[in-house]
Amino acid sequence: MATLSKKVLLAPDSIISFIDRAHDKHDQAAAFFRFFAQNQYQLYMDTLTLNRVYEYLFKNISPSLAKDFIRTISLSEINMLYTDENDFKAALKTLLIYPNTDLSFPLAMLATLANRRNIPQVCTFVYFPNLFALQTFFLPI
C-alpha cells in the first residue's frame, strides 16, 4: 500500500475558513489544521495566497488582524513558495491550453507550484481543476 505524502499546499479559502470563525467551513478547517499538526504535515503557501488572505482579512475583518496574520506566518513552520519566471511561464501555458473556462490564473499558478515542488495535495473547499494529478486533501476516515 502506497503511503500518501505529508506535503499539502494551502489554498486561500482554507486559511480564510480557519481564521474567520464566522465562516461556514471554520469547523472543517480547524479539523484540517489540527490533523496537520498532530500528524506532522509539511504545509506550503505561495505568495499569491498570502496576498489574497491578507487582503480578505484587511477588508472584511480588520487591518490589525491582517498584520497579525502576516507576523504569524513569518514565525510559523509554513513553507513559503516563491514564484520565478519559469513558474509564471508554466502557469500561463497551463492556463492557455486548459480546455475549460473554469481555470483562473491563481489556480493555474497554485497547481504549477505544487507540481514543480512535488506537492501532491491541496487543501481547499472549492472546486479545484484536475491538473498535474494534484489531489484535494481529505481527512482520512
Decide if 101 is inside a domain: yes
Decide if 2 is inside a domain: no
**Tens digits of residue pLDDT in 3-48:** 568 999 999 999 999 999 999 999 999 999 999 999 999 999 999 9
Decide if 84 is inside a domain: yes
**Tens digits of residue pLDDT in 77-121:** 999 999 999 999 999 998 998 887 788 898 889 989 999 999 999
Decide if 38 is inside a domain: yes
Decide if 81 is inside a domain: yes
pTM of the model: 0.88
CATH number at residue 101: 3.40.50.1010
Query: Number of structural domains, the chain?
Result: 1
pLDDT at 21: 93
Evaluate whether 129 touches 117 at the Cβ level (below 8 Å): no
Helix (H, G, I), strand (E, B) or coil at 122: strand
In which residue are the cell numbers 503557501 written? 45
Decide if 131 is inside a domain: yes
CA 33 and chain centroid, separation: 12
pLDDT at 3: 55
Domain encompassing residue 73: 7-136
Q: Distance between CA 32 and CA 1 in Å, rounded?
A: 23
Evaluate whether 123 touches 7 at the Cβ level (below 8 Å): no
pLDDT at 139: 76
